[in-house]
Amino acid sequence: MEEIRRRRGRDETRLLLVTIAVSALMLFLLARFRFPEQGRAPQAPTQPLERLAASATYDELAGILRGVDRQVSGAIVSVMAASDSDAPGDDAATTYVPAVRIGADRAVALPGAGRHVVAQSGRTRILAADSPHGVALLQTPSVEPSNIPRLAVLDTLPEAPGYLAAIEATASGPAVRPIYFGRLDRVSDRRWKEPILRFSGLQQMLPSGAAVFTLDARFVGVGFPDDRAFLVVPAVSLLAEAEQLGLRGSVPAADLGIEVQPLDAAMRAATGAQTGIVVSYVHPSGPAAGQLEPADVITAVGSMAIRTPADYTAAVMQLSPGAGVALATVRAGRSMIVNVTPGVRGSPADQATSELGLELRAVKGLGVEVVRVAPRSAAARAGIRAGDLLTAFGAANAPDPATVAKVFGGIASGQYVIVRVERGSTHLVVPLTK
């Protein structure tokens, strides 16, 4: 009997100890949940929650952009733009840019320097163009005043990083997408009188001529890519330029008939010039023909020092066609002054030439490869491009450069010669006329 009482006492003691241990464990676990450790790292949300949060963010942004699209759709007209040096009718060379309404029947577009707006019958008429800056004042079908966008106050733009809305143009009309920028600066640019905006840290570059709006549909300006940044001409500056165009008419762009490239270390050693830009091409019938040569270094245009191609572009924008300018140059280590009278950079049709305009390289047994096509030349009008392989020129199969020149020289003005072209994996026949 005594043994039974002792065994029962041991069992009760074990049960009591187990109960105490379980209670202590439960109290410990409850304390950990109720009072977590101060230094413990926060737990990452589960993957479904992350997806839900991201979806909510994107849906919210998409909703905002749909609101912008509804508010500005009537303020935007999609217009065609083409390069001044591209062949007429070359669809690949034609793009669309947005023209922003600034009045009931007026709109302004910024196709960019070296490009021009193509008038579209029944839709837009070009009233005036500032060709150096690439600004066009257009007449459009009349709309209600509510379609004229409000202007953004630059001091109230979102702080960087932030979002704005970009309006691009397509053949079917305007298209809106978000533009994320990491930095926003006001900068001076020699091409423009007033400071412009530089958006950098963009996730994706915008095309030239894209219009920028705030997320509450206020017009910020129109811009163009520049290196890895997007430069925007403020809306107020564009409106002032459009007003001046309406008063004084079109401003022609000057052209020296040359192409340039940066002066790198190797070219500095080869030319003996320490600063400037290198002439890479001189148009045979351009204003600088006989005055400049490839590998010349331009160090100044008039009184403006030239260090980069952008400096050269800014300097030429300030020239007037027909007014001579002195160029400070370096040729083979010798400094010299060259006087050139700029011509007018106009539409391709206005300045078409009768020259063939091809620089060719012989490809033995196949024909000739096109190294370069001169703007506004017969080859450019025919749509021939650099990189094309010409396998036949008229009746001459696998021609060399001399044969191409001889055949073209033998046709009369207005006559055609058929050219067989290999462009990558595509074979074409192209009619070329003098």
Q: What is the CATH number of the domain that holds 131?
A: 2.40.10.120
Question: Maximum distance among all alpha carbons in the chain?
Answer: 137
Whether the CB-CB separation of 174 and 83 falls below 8 Å is answered with no
Residue type, 374: A
CA quadruple 283, 287, 289, 292: dihedral sign: negative
pLDDT in tens, 193-234: 889 999 999 988 999 999 999 999 999 999 999 888 999 999
Q: What is the mean pLDDT of residues 18-29?
A: 58
Residue 185 has pLDDT above 70, yes or no: yes
Given 248, 271, 300, the domain boundary residue is 248
The count of C-alpha atoms lying within 13 angstroms of the C-alpha of 92, restricted to the half-sphere facing its C-beta, is 5
Res 18 pLDDT > 50: yes
Does residue 217 sit in the same domain as residue 233? yes
Instruction: Please report whether residue 395 resides in a domain.
Output: yes
409 domain-assigned:
yes
CATH number at residue 341: 2.30.42.10
Task: Report yes or no on 192 lying in a domain.
Answer: yes
178 and 121, same domain (yes or no): yes
Residue 363 domain flag: yes
Band the pLDDT of 5: cuts 50, 70, 90: low
| Distance of alpha carbon 128 from the chain centroid | 23
In a domain, 49, yes or no: no
| E strand segments, 149-243 | 162-170, 173-181, 183-187, 196-200, 211-213, 219-226, 229-234
Give the residue-averaged pLDDT of 225-246: 92
Round the average pLDDT of the chain to a whole number and report it: 84
User: Any idea which of 35-39, 55-59, 172-176, 283-287 has the lowest mean pLDDT?
Assistant: 35-39
Do 181 and 291 sit in the same domain of this protein? no
Identify whether the C-beta of residue 191 lies closer than 8 Å to the C-beta of residue 317.
yes
Task: With a cut of 90, say whether residue 115 has pLDDT above it.
Answer: no
Q: Is the distance from CB of 353 to CB of 381 less than 8 angstroms?
A: no
**Residues 338-358 pLDDT 10s:** 999 999 875 333 444 568 989
Number of domains in the chain: 3
Are both 174 and 282 inside the same structural domain? Answer: no
Please indicate, yes or no, whether residues 294 and 384 belong to a single structural domain of this protein: no
Residues 307 and 400 occupy one common structural domain: no
What per-residue confidence (pLDDT) applies to 251? 87
Of 97, 112, 106, nearest to 124 by C-alpha is 106
Residue 14 counted as domain residue:
no
Q: Does one domain contain both 197 and 281?
A: no
CA contacts within 13 A on the Cβ side of 83: 11
Q: Residues 402, 325: one domain?
A: no
Q: What is the model's pTM?
A: 0.65
Q: Which is it for strands 173-181 and 416-423: parallel, antiparallel or unpaired?
A: unpaired
User: So what's the pLDDT on residue 20?
Assistant: 64
Predicted confidence band of residue 112 (pLDDT cuts 50, 70, 90)? confident
Share of the chain above pLDDT 70, in %: 82
Same domain, 301 and 166: no
Span 69-79, average pLDDT: 91
Least-confidence region, from 89-93, 126-130, 196-200:
89-93
Give residue 288's domain range: 253-345
Do the domain assignments include residue 378?
A: yes
Last residue of a domain, one of 224, 248, 272: 248
Q: Considering 316, 345, 374, which residue would you say is the last residue of a domain?
A: 345
| Exposure string for 141-152, b = 16+ CB within 10 A, e = fewer | eebeeeebbebb
Task: Assess whether 146 and 280 both reside in one domain.
Answer: no
Residue 16 lies inside a defined structural domain of this protein? no
* Shared domain check, 262 and 221: no
Do 411 and 397 lie in a common domain?
yes
